[in-house]
């Protein structure tokens, strides 16, 4: 029973990574179109989220924590509006955030590999260490050398890194996940 559920989770993880690889490939093919779409979607999502949180405040009890949530909702709404009005600057921040996320993902993969694959004596665990270090290095390169002079260049970089990160995630899941015989 447990291995069946874990098998479903593993297949779901792999399918999610494949979908992210497809999105990254599409971003590589036609980056200009998706730069504007990405920033517009982010702005609208933040505005919708802020509206839902504000409506939630209206129907909830008026206690201190809900006023804090209302303040957060107003800040989220302002961030959504700022994204819609200042799209070019948002793309630069998005590139920096993507570099930081790559570094954090690489550190997470490195810790998981060191903790699980090495201790379980999986064959080829050192490959996961190398891939994790490559994720960290690519995040540092993106932070140190911003290639996103144009929104299209940023989308190409993000698309390529999504392809690479998803591929590393698939290799990581396949190599670390427990086998059925265990």
Distance between CA atoms of 118 and 135, rounded to whole angstroms? Answer: 19
Within 10 A of 157 (CB to CB), how many other CB atoms are there?
23
The pLDDT value given to residue 158: 79
* DSSP, residue by residue, 76-121: HHHHHHHHHH-HHHHHHHHHHHHHHHHHHHHHHHHHHIIIIITTTT
User: Can you list the alpha helix ranges (DSSP code H) found in the chain?
Assistant: 2-29, 31-59, 64-85, 87-112, 125-144, 151-176
Token pair of 60 as six digits: 């909830």
Query: How do residues 136-153 score in pLDDT, each as one tens digit?
Result: 998 898 888 766 667 777
Please state whether 124 falls in left (phi above 0), alpha (psi between -120 and 50) or beta: left
Q: Assess whether pLDDT exceeds 60 at residue 60.
A: yes
Q: Assess whether pLDDT exceeds 50 at residue 63.
A: yes
The pLDDT value given to residue 136: 92
Q: Is the pTM of this model over 0.75?
A: no
Q: Assess whether pLDDT exceeds 60 at residue 180.
A: no
């Amino acid at each position: 029973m447990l291995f069946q559920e874990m098998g479903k989770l593993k297949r779901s993880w792999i399918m999610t990574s494949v979908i992210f690889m497809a999105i990254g490939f599409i971003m590589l093919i036609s980056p200009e179109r998706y730069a504007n779409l990405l920033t517009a979607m982010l702005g609208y999502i933040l505005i919708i989220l802020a509206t839902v949180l504000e409506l939630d405040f209206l129907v909830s009890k008026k206690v201190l924590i809900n006023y804090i949530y209302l303040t957060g909702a107003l800040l989220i709404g302002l961030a959504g509006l700022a994204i819609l009005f200042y799209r070019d600057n948002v793309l630069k921040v998005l590139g920096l955030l993507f570099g930081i996320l790559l570094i954090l993902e690489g550190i997470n993969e490195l810790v998981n590999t060191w903790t699980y694959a090495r201790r379980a004596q999986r064959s080829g665990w050192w490959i996961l260490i190398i891939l994790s270090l490559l994720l960290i290095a690519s995040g540092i390169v993106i932070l140190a050398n911003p290639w996103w002079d144009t929104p299209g260049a940023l989308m190409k970089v993000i698309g390529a890194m999504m392809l690479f990160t998803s591929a590393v995630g698939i290799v990581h899941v396949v190599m670390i996940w427990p086998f059925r015989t265990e």
